[in-house]
Amino acid sequence: MRVSLLGVEFYSENRGCGALAYSIVEILKQICKKKGDNLHITAILFSNHPVVIKDDDIEVTIECIKIAPKKFTYWKACKRAFADSDFILDFSMGDSFADIYGMKRFFLASMLKELAIKSKTEFIMAPQTIGPFSRREAKLWASHILKACNECFVRDTLSKKYVKELCGRNALLTTDVAFALPYKERIIDKKEGIVRVGLNPSGLLWGKESGFDAEKHVSVDYKEYIECLMQAWKKDEMVEIYLIPHVFAEDGSGMEDDLRVCKELHKKYPATVLETGARTPMEIKSIIASMDVFTGARMHATIAAFSSGVATIPFSYSRKFEGLYHDLGYAYLISGASTNTQEAVKKTLAWVKEYKKLRENVKECRKNIPDKQRVFLDVLKNM
């Protein structure tokens, strides 16, 4: 099986992008094993760092093409890769097929999608959040791409409705592929009665350094929210707090770096455990999976918790959270856009105390995932 893979990163400060990449590789590996095929992936990435994935049963090779839109050789390599592939999968980083990140980014991503369409190789918009588009020219081009691709998958009902309104297409509803991200169970020496709380504080929402206008999107004062949680947990001897970054540079220099925030909180609250050793999305998921309850504002960090059976309290700053979790029937979500700070704190603290109830609800809602994934997996199996 030969696949071109767009809109993911194996090596990224944002481990959510990495979670998408490693999850789809895991899915494709399982399909190839059943078919008796080897797997060759050509990934078009911002990083051309070599990617090696070993498997005992099949041969897996990953060829990387570094994104360089100003070079003719880049477009030539992409064109050749598309022609040589059985199909093309485009994830748009999960939620980046929109114009909210600027027209330059939208234009460059759409150029690659256009090349994929013109290649005549089966082009699949993989499960993602689509939109919003505010500019007329972006709406027109996005509409063309969505109508021209061979298959269009969305990971939430809100995106399905948006695509229908934008271009008239009935997108196929599935869920996020990151539910398939592998991880290893950790052996935990846990004290009797202690509740392990995993906290993923978001560098995106923490300060203005990220460039994200939190006041425009979120009604909760995020810093005050986190501080109130920390103050409450500091007084509770039965709670252990683990600070777990999900978007970070190795040196903590990223513009929306979670690790910088974690270090700031750890300095102020030294009784916390600062998790800094994990590097890959799988390693971070393994840490998250060892928690009793997890709360965070990075969606793929919360997916790591949910998919490993941990009581999960997502903090939402965009419709992608509500869309994904409501479609799974899960209601324990803090809506940062429609909740005030005091209510968000009150709900989070109460739900942490009720983590066993949440864990049972997660268990029930996880039963919905295989059915939701099937529509996407069936298409891949038939390619």
DSSP 325-356: HHHTT----EETTTS-HHHHHHHHHHHHHTHH
Q: In this predicted structure, what is the pLDDT of residue 20?
A: 96
- 280 phi and psi, to 5 degrees? -95, 160
pLDDT number for residue 248: 87
Query: What is this structure's pTM?
Result: 0.92
DSSP letter assigned to residue 130: B
Domain ranges of the chain: 2-173, 195-366
One-letter amino acid for residue 285 of the chain: K
Question: If the chain, 383 residues long, is cut into consecutive pieces of 10 residues, what is the mean pLDDT of each piece?
Answer: 96 90 97 96 90 92 95 97 98 91 88 97 97 94 98 96 97 97 84 92 80 71 97 96 90 75 97 89 96 97 98 93 94 94 98 98 97 96 91
Give the pLDDT score at 186. 80
Q: Which CATH class is domain 2-173?
A: alpha beta
Would you state the pLDDT for residue 124?
99
In this prediction, residue 282 carries a pLDDT of: 95
Phi-psi domain of 178 (left: phi exceeds 0; alpha: psi -120 through 50; beta: other): alpha
Give CA separation, 222 vs 216, 278, 284, 338, 348, in Å.
Answer: 13, 25, 23, 13, 13
How far is it, in rounded angstroms, from Cα 65 to Cα 81? 9
Contact 4, 62 (CB under 8 A): no
Angle at 164 between CA 138 and CA 328, to 5 degrees: 110
pLDDT the model gives residue 225: 98
Instruction: Give me the CATH code for the 195-366 domain, please.
Output: 3.40.50.2000
pLDDT of residue 252: 56
Q: Tell me the C-alpha to C-alpha distance, in Å, between residue 96 and each of 99, 102, 107, 129.
A: 8, 10, 12, 8
**DSSP SS3 for 204:** helix
Q: Please give the sequence-ordered ranges of beta strands (E in DSSP) within the chain, or none if there are none.
A: 2-6, 39-45, 60-66, 87-90, 122-128, 151-154, 172-173, 195-200, 239-243, 273-274, 293-296, 311-316, 334-335
Q: How many residues does the chain have?
A: 383
In the prediction, which pLDDT does 122 show?
98
Q: Degrees (nearest 5) of the Cα angle 196, 347, 306?
A: 50
* Cα distance between residue 257 and residue 255, in whole Å: 6
Give per-residue burial for 51-63: e unless 16+ CB within 10 Å, then b. beeeeeeeebebb
The whole-angstrom separation of Cα 231 and Cα 348 is 13
pLDDT of 187 reads 75
Q: Tell me whether the CATH fold assigned to 2-173 matches the one assigned to 195-366.
A: yes
Peptide bond into 132 cis (omega under 30): yes
Q: How many Å apart are CA 383 and CA 375, to the nearest integer?
A: 13
